[in-house]
Structure 1
Amino acid sequence: MTDLSETSRSPSAAGWLNRNVVGMGLTSLLSDAGHELATALLPGFMHILGLSAAALGAIEGISDAVSSFVKLAGGWLSDRTGRRKPIAVGGYFLTGAAMSLFAFAEGWGLIMAGRLVGWFGRGIRGPARDSLLAESVSPETRGRAFGFHRAGDTIGAIIGPLIGVGLLALLSPHAADPARPFRVAFFWTLLPGLGSAVTFALMVREARRPPSQVKFWASIRSLPAPFMRFLVGVGTFGLGDFSHTLMILAAAQLLTPPHGASAATEIAALLFALHNVFYAGASYPVGALSDRWGRRGLLASGYLLGALTAAGFLAAFLWHLASFAYLALLFILGGTYVAFQDALEGAMTSDLVPVNLLGTAYGLRGTVNGVGDLISSLAVGLLWTAVSPVAAFLYAAVTMLVGSAILWRVR
């Protein structure tokens, strides 16, 4: 494939493991340690507050959609102004500060507010950061750079849940109020969360580039046709790609009868940490393989793993498969397919789009993903509550399978 984005490359592209790549990887490690700590404990906290799976699905879906719509505007703004770094730093600050709002929640309102503010920041920073990452390396090493970044991102997502489980184990035996240990843990998210913004500000360098003069809708219309066709597969898969907090909820529900609610919450959080171990472990190898073998086939294979993960949860509820080993296998599959998705969607986008439209392209891809996240999380949560978890995961498995098939065929 002919690369369209070799011009206006950052001076730091001489070696792929450079200051920018390391700085962005460390930033994402810290950011994910904070917000994944909150994510791992949120289903258990909401259960204590008496909130339903439908409420969790709505909160996750709506906040993901807000994040994704902001990506489109934020990506275009980073192209328009020629400045990506200030947007990224501001986004990391918002996400780092917002998760602590959960500590004050007595119902769904503050949880929704914290998620919306945090995911607004996550949305506005994503295209700017991914564009800087793509501009910081050569076209031949993008897969490795994006894989390294996602690995750092996911190491933080391993550390965060482990810290959360440790805080619950330490504080729960002495707490008269079962919600209090969760509230303390949510305050701890401030330390790595705000540290991520400081790290990006100090470590990442941005080469000056001329601002784009292309207006918003004109920039979208200028995106290449192969990229727009690529989005068809991405969007279809996204319609079934539910929030993985629902995997944590599924594990907690399946494990509660044999273990009790408190132990089930801790085991489910540990399973999510295992999910993130495999996410981190697979991200760099998948990215490196894509530099050699091409990205489309590998990404379609990752989408197929997503369909198998959903089918596995369907079977767990249908046949009451609640063993730790079986659930661990599902979380391993879940973490692995997300590694394919996150490393390769970003790298493939930069293969298909010229550098002056990278921010807009990442924003549009994020918006497509966000619409899918909204529909999938709402659909899975509502089907779970109104019909059954079996119906919810059947919908997810079939939709993700169709997305994989489309990506194989569309060129």
Structure 2
Amino acid sequence: MNKPDQPNHVNLSVAKKLPQTVVVLGLVSFFNDFASDIVVPLIPILLATVFAAGPVALGLIEGVADALASFLKLWSGRHTDMKSGRRKGLVLTGYMLSNLARPLLGLAGSWVTVLLLRSVDRVGKGLRSAPRDAMVADATPSHIRGYAFGFHRALDNAGAVAGGLTAAAVLAWSDLSLSEVILWSAVPGFAAIVLLGAGIKEKKGDRIPPEKLQRTLSPLRWSALSVPMQHYLWVLMLFTFARASETFILLFGHELGISVVELLLLWSALNLAKAITSTQGGQLANHFGRGALILIGWSALAISFLAISQITTSIGLWMISICYGLFMGMSEGAERALISDYASPDERGTAFGWYHLVSGIAAIPSGLLFGVIWHVYNAAAAFIFASVLAFLAIVLLRVWAWPARQGYNE
């Protein structure tokens, strides 16, 4: 097991063939995010223009939705471990729930309805995320796991690009309203469900008997986690307070006077930047160590948010958002690969559940705090506050979380 700040010497010039499960799950995420990102970048615009709601409402909606999802992720990950690693059913249920609720946002009559439907959407995400990540880890040899998660994140971000561009094109070249565009998101969402149902077959052999598995699994309590994982998750929780929803970038663009179509193009450009670097970032994480790539991504957020607080033009927002996306994309696979390093094979679902739970516990106060600072002071103050927290998390990652891992392996 490699330390997060030490390299795994893999020859980057050798092409590694990813397992079919990883490829299919990547395509499922592509179509699901295609559907999601027709809708998500329109939410802050819908709130501001239709319901006259501002950053506090957006922070509450995103915070509550993410928190609900995160609590479910621990249960769902643990549940699939208890089922001897049978994960597909819960993953499929999660995708179905999200893709039933999300298009209904087009029929919402108030921001409270948006909150309820967005929460149901994220409940679906809560059911599927930890088991899906565990499926990727189960199917992939450890020496290319960073590559596998980077590939998955690349297709995830590519779907976001497709969704944002589709929404922009439809709004620019058709007479459809925002609500009608959101309703049409059901089409790629249906494709994701069909692909998952038909494209992955779980093996029924080599299962650990449930009664034996229940005796071998660690108790579901914080103290049962390894010390390095506890340290890493505490730092991750702090970083979550800094990692405000990227929809706030769009709300900031709206305040700068950027049109809806241009904001959708900006959203697509940001996610395209992530997609470009995600796979290569995963491969670099295998070679240079997970921690080095995480450090790059977190630093990019801290610097980008600080820069956003100082800009006053749409060109500046475009430049910073694209740079932010390029560097953040490099670290996305590394964050998940590091969790799989900490977990034994029969507890991967639980480990990813803890990862998603901890990153979501802070979601409600994080979103609300960001929105309240924005409302009471201004957008610049909110982005500066988030940047300072990100820099603090970076320091703790380097001086507290990494030494704990080194001591654990000695």
Normalised to the residue count of structure 2, the TM-score between the two structures is 0.89
SS of the equivalent of 1:213 reads helix
Aligned with 2:366 (options 360, 372, 376): 376
Aligned with 1:304 (options 299, 308, 329): 299
The corresponding residue for 1:213 is 214
Cα offset, 1:329, TM superposition: 1.6
Q: Do residues 242 (structure 1) and 244 (structure 2) align?
A: yes
- For the residues of structure 1 that align with 2:326 and 2:40, how far apart are their CA atoms? 18
The corresponding residue for 2:275 is 280
The corresponding residue for 1:139 is 142
The corresponding residue for 1:226 is 228
Q: How does 1:89-108 map to 2 (within 5 A)?
A: 89-108=92-111
CA offsets, 1:11-67, max 9 Å, x none?
Answer: xxxx74121011001000000001111011111122221111211111011101111
- For the residues of structure 2 that align with 1:344 and 1:219, how far apart are their CA atoms? 25
Kept in 2, the 8 Å contact 1:219–1:357? The answer is: no
Q: How does 1:10-409 map to 2 (within 5 A)?
A: 16-49=17-50, 50-82=52-84, 83-171=86-174, 174=175, 181-208=177-204, 209-210=207-208, 211=210, 212-213=213-214, 218-220=219-221, 221-256=223-258, 264-316=259-311, 321-324=312-315, 326-409=316-399
User: Which ranges in structure 2 are unaligned for 5 or more consecutive residues?
Assistant: 4-15, 403-410
| Distance change (3 Å), C-alpha of 1:255 and 1:19 | same
| Distance change (3 Å), C-alpha of 1:98 and 1:285 | same
Letter in 2 for 1:23: V
SS of the equivalent of 1:218 reads coil
- For the residues of structure 1 that align with 2:319 and 2:215, how far apart are their CA atoms? 48
Kept in 1, the 8 Å contact 2:93–2:128? The answer is: yes
- For the residues of structure 2 that align with 1:123 and 1:25, how far apart are their CA atoms? 18
Letter in 2 for 1:330: I
User: How many aligned residue pairs are there?
Assistant: 381
| Distance change (3 Å), C-alpha of 1:333 and 1:378 | farther
Cα offset, 1:255, TM superposition: 2.7
| Distance change (3 Å), C-alpha of 1:153 and 1:292 | same
CA offsets, 1:130-161, max 9 Å, x none?
Answer: 00100101000001100111111111000001
SS of the equivalent of 1:25 reads helix
Kept in 2, the 8 Å contact 1:16–1:136? The answer is: no
- For the residues of structure 1 that align with 2:82 and 2:302, how far apart are their CA atoms? 38
Normalised to the residue count of structure 1, the TM-score between the two structures is 0.89
| Distance change (3 Å), C-alpha of 1:372 and 1:338 | farther
| Distance change (3 Å), C-alpha of 1:237 and 1:340 | farther
- For the residues of structure 1 that align with 2:141 and 2:241, how far apart are their CA atoms? 33
Kept in 2, the 8 Å contact 1:16–1:145? The answer is: no
- For the residues of structure 2 that align with 1:78 and 1:310, how far apart are their CA atoms? 37
Letter in 1 for 2:54: S
CA offsets, 1:298-320, max 9 Å, x none?
Answer: 1012101010111012112xxxx
The corresponding residue for 2:9 is none
SS of the equivalent of 1:315 reads coil
Letter in 2 for 1:322: T
- For the residues of structure 1 that align with 2:146 and 2:217, how far apart are their CA atoms? 28
Cα offset, 1:338, TM superposition: 3.5
- For the residues of structure 2 that align with 1:215 and 1:293, how far apart are their CA atoms? 33
Kept in 2, the 8 Å contact 1:306–1:333? The answer is: no
Letter in 2 for 1:362: F
| Distance change (3 Å), C-alpha of 1:183 and 1:216 | farther
Letter in 2 for 1:299: I
| Distance change (3 Å), C-alpha of 1:333 and 1:215 | farther
CA offsets, 1:65-92, max 9 Å, x none?
Answer: 1111111111111111122110101101
- For the residues of structure 1 that align with 2:377 and 2:241, how far apart are their CA atoms? 19
Kept in 2, the 8 Å contact 1:60–1:243? The answer is: yes
Cα offset, 1:214, TM superposition: 5.2
Letter in 2 for 1:244: E
Letter in 2 for 1:26: L
Kept in 2, the 8 Å contact 1:51–1:107? The answer is: no
SS of the equivalent of 1:242 reads coil
Residue identity (%): 29
- For the residues of structure 2 that align with 1:278 and 1:96, how far apart are their CA atoms? 25
Kept in 1, the 8 Å contact 2:280–2:330? The answer is: no
Kept in 1, the 8 Å contact 2:293–2:331? The answer is: no
| Distance change (3 Å), C-alpha of 1:215 and 1:96 | farther
User: Which ranges in structure 1 are unaligned for 5 or more consecutive residues?
Assistant: 4-14, 175-179, 257-263
Moved more, 367-376 or 37-46: 367-376
Kept in 1, the 8 Å contact 2:296–2:328? The answer is: no
Kept in 2, the 8 Å contact 1:241–1:372? The answer is: no
Letter in 1 for 2:104: L
